[in-house]
Amino acid sequence: MSLNYDQVLEKYEPTLGLEVHVELNTKSKMFCGCATEFGAAPNTQTCPVCLGLPGALPVVNNRAIESTILIGLALNCSIAPFSRFARKNYFYPDMPKNFQTSQYDEPICINGYLDVEIETDEGSKTFRVEIERVHMEEDTGKSLHVGGSTGRIHGADYSLLDYNRAGIPLVEIVTKMVPNTGKYAPAVAKAYVATLRDILKALKVSDVKMEQGSLRCDVNLSLSKSGSGKLGTRSETKNVNSLRSVERAVSGEAVRQGNRLESGEKIVQETRHFLEESGQTRPGRSKEQAEDYRYFPEPDLVPVAPDATWIEKLRKQLPEKPADRRKRLQTAWGVPDKEMAAMINAELLDTVEETVLLGSDPTKARSWWLGEVSRIANDRAVSPTELISVKDVAQIIELITQGELTDKLARQVVEGVIAKEGSPSEVITKRGLKVVSDDSELMKAIEAAIAASPETAEKVRGGNIPAAGALIGAVMKLTGGQADAAKVKELLLKHLGQ
Amino acid sequence: MSIRDSAASMAAALAKKEITSVELTNQHFDQINAVDKDVHAFLYLDKEGALAQAKEVDKKRAAGEKLSPLAGVPLALKDVMVQKDVPTTCGSKILEGWKPPYDSTVVSKLKAAGIVILGKTNMDEFAMGSSTENSAFGPTHNPWDLSRIPGGSGGGSSAALAAFQAPLAIGTDTGGSIRQPAAVTGTVGVKPTYGAVSRYGLVAFSSSLDQAGPCARTVLDAALLHQVIAGFDPKDSTSINQVTPDVVAAAKKLDVKGVKIGVVKQLAGDGYQKGVENKFNEAIAELVKLGAEIIEVSCPNFEYALAAYYLIAPSECSSNLARFDSIRFGLRVGDDGARGAEEVMNLTRQAGFGREVKRRIILGTYALSSGYYDAYYGSAQKVRTLIKQDFDKAFAKCDVLVSPTTPTTAFKIGEKSNDPLAMYLNDIATIPVNMAGIGGMSLPCGLADEDNLPVGFQIMSPAMKDDRMYLVGGALEAALLDKWKKPLLDFAPKLVGSK
């Protein structure tokens, strides 16, 4: 009889720890001048330094240091006046030097925090996650295991190595132990990663694409018997690569550990892998003994010692906090909570803001991006901004506001722009999409519609206003949709003595 | 014009068009062909590349182009220095056949100066050793006595100079690998201040100690080469961004009146050969005659330098050599399609690394491992700081410090190869300089009475004051030449076939 999540949480108190790896979006690598573009042909972005050839030496990318300090400042950290790189020594085929140059006991940013908001039974609540450190390191290359059935190294016929990723700057953000979350541990973990992602995005230091691996999360979790005050043994679940997975990894691991403890088994301190399909974790390669990385200060690099002037200059570059910005925009635009959340979830807040900044009405901007454009984007499995530019959407909204386009016509313009027929005005010209605003022309259509269904017209004359809908529809049809429906209604009712 | 001349004289003859670089280069290849079967200073000869370089310089000179002072003069390059498309082995089987795809900064500077690179010289594997016996390709022999060692790790470079196979050479010095070979072959070797010469393209043994430097037969030649290879390099983060002191002017000054010279008390006595101490003291007497002021200084922490060195250097090498895993370059053993990467790596290292290299990797791995780090690596770093403080105190009173370069003259090949500790003691006087990152020079100061073999005189100068050792070295060399009437190398027996 196994316990479910709620049953486990009745008996045990979880303690979380989160390690997030972020690939910085610097143009060049951490220790050499090689390009960092994603998706280049294998081994085309390499040099003696990132290939670890004999004699090559690293030089720190200053831009990466700045990005890391910015992250530290945004997470309320202290910036260390003196920090160093160390060598983490271990063998892995896709790690060229067989040591990773990483900060260890002297990281650049320490002791910060991040406040995250979660929904609880008592409503929305702020939870403070304390940050232990933010440090710099380099990424490894990538192995592609060919042959075998699993795509993993075990059972493969051979492996191909791509060193394009080797040496890409990584920042690791490590929380302190996060206690007292109770049953909200999964929600806190998810909210932390989501909030962190928003901040990194606002700082423009990373692409933060979890699906491309530019943001990766390791989840540490332990359980202690409620009220015992004694910390349990933790497991570390690696490479949890979506927000939903973060939540599932925490709850899944809590259930696994809870059931083990209930049946009197011990928790093994180990690395586990998250399984996307089942939401469960499986043990990583077992280690006969604890890995000894033989850290020592990297003798090929000099210490990083940012001075106060530099730090203050960077502090001034900090953008508005994402949470503050959202509140500001929500108030300014008068958006209800639910719609605001939808906009954020669709990752269209920036796009809508840019559209508004080009003069569009916020409500219209929101409804066009989240409505028509998103619908087509979803059908084609692309992002809305890949289909149509902010400028074009703003222009279409402008034409609607001026009465040059009806919503229906505007949809055709959007369709035309997406089909690459040209700019909105070119599409309007090519397709002949103009609002019929000439009263006499509309009246001709209205008379024709009435003549076609005299009984309906009689009903309207008799005071049955809703019956006018059918006539309006007929008029719209006769004008090829190019009439302003409100205007048609007004003229029609007047004509029928209403 | 003779191959026994100094590099400065060769440069002058080239400038006066008395000889072409192609002729000069060919003369050196002739000498190499004649004697290197006995000396074994070279691991690789790049005749084609060297002659192409020489031709280029001659062409430029004929066209009246302005050339750098050493343009057209040949040089021997220690095989730890990466040169594009030229095999670089570091004296190790594990790199056999590897042709680097890039030039080290030192090589770029040599090429830009028109210096002709004859080939790569023999060395102890990965610069670990004091005799060149640890080369995977066989030992180099001391031209003074072919049954003796030429020093190490840069024995190939110093032997090439002493055998007149090249007038200039590049060495690297982690614990004495330039100065000790210079001392036992009667040549000049300089380890500049750490960071004065770029390490980019120098295959690392111990990153915080390694430093490339000039090797030559005269102090002025070393200064001329020093000037070419030194200078800030943005590719080496530990390179010093300061103007190189004018070492050439210092070498030419020949005036040490009032210069305060400190004799290090701890670098004498027990373990030092009588003849070595005598020649050292005679050199001191010459300096006194020249008007220098001699002060005895005490550096009590030098006693721990060797022990600390043998923790720091192996620790760093255990990490630096981890990249030799057979995956991207060099030797690969046992790759039969069935074995995994880790197993192939292990087999390659077993076959590719020599005994001394393995010994140091094991030592360093142990010293860095968790639970031992503080006691070993941590303590050694503290000793390093204490040694620096000893130097700081001494340099507060003196302009330079001096000592014998080595406790003994050249020993017999095989004599110490099974006794690593005895071998390590060769570097007892040179190691403190590397630990403190300062400059050190060795120049010949005579032949020991017991064995008629060269004795080295070491001059140490504060960081980025490398000109001071050239000042004192230049003056001492001139005084000794006056006394001997001919260069010390002219006392060496003539090699069979030598010009």
**Model pLDDT, residue A467:** 84
**Model pLDDT, residue A430:** 87
Q: The domain B7-303+383-491: what is its CATH number?
A: 3.90.1300.10
ipTM of the complex in this document: 0.96
In chain B, % of residues over pLDDT 90: 95
**Model pLDDT, residue B418:** 87
Nearest to A59 among B98, B237, B345 (CB): B237
Hey, are the CB atoms on A296 and B315 less than 8 Å from each other? yes
How far is the C-alpha of B162 from the C-alpha of A221, rounded, in Å?
67
Query: Nearest CA of chain A to the CA of B83: how many Å?
Result: 10
**How many C-beta atoms lie closer than 10 Å to residue A130's C-beta?**
15
Query: Which one has a higher pLDDT value, A322 or B479?
Result: B479
List CB contacts of A426: < 8 A, sequence separation 6 or more: none
**Model pLDDT, residue A261:** 94
Q: Tell me the backbone φ, ψ of residue B169, rounded to 5 degrees.
A: -150, 160
**Model pLDDT, residue A488:** 83
**Model pLDDT, residue A1:** 61
Query: Nearest CA of chain B to the CA of A239: how many Å?
Result: 24
Hey, are the CB atoms on B100 and A55 less than 8 Å from each other? yes
DSSP bridge pairs for A146: A158
**Model pLDDT, residue A95:** 94
Nearest to B369 among A93, A98, A294 (CB): A294
**Residue keyed to tokens 């006969």:** A288
Q: Which residues of chain A have pLDDT under 50?
A: 288
- Kindly list the distances between the CA atom of residue B240 and the CA atoms of A58, B195, B199, in Å, as whole numbers in the listed order: 15, 5, 11
Nearest to B207 among A53, A59, A300 (CB): A300
pLDDT digit string, tens, across residues B77-112: 999 999 999 999 999 999 988 999 999 999 999 999
pLDDT digit string, tens, across residues B107-141: 999 999 999 999 999 999 999 999 999 999 999 99
A22-36, A484-498, B162-176, B337-351: range with lowest mean pLDDT: A484-498
Hey, are the CB atoms on B202 and A301 less than 8 Å from each other? no
Domain with CATH 1.10.10 in chain A: 439-495
Q: Could you name the CATH architecture of A439-495? A: Orthogonal Bundle (1.10)
Written as six digits, the tokens of A250 are 């925490």
How far is the C-alpha of B199 from the C-alpha of B213, rounded, in Å?
10
- Kindly list the distances between the CA atom of residue B288 and the CA atoms of A55, B258, B260, B472, in Å, as whole numbers in the listed order: 43, 10, 10, 12
Hey, are the CB atoms on B322 and A93 less than 8 Å from each other? no
Whole-number average pLDDT of chain B: 97
Among all residues of B, which ones are annotated catalytic? 78, 153, 177
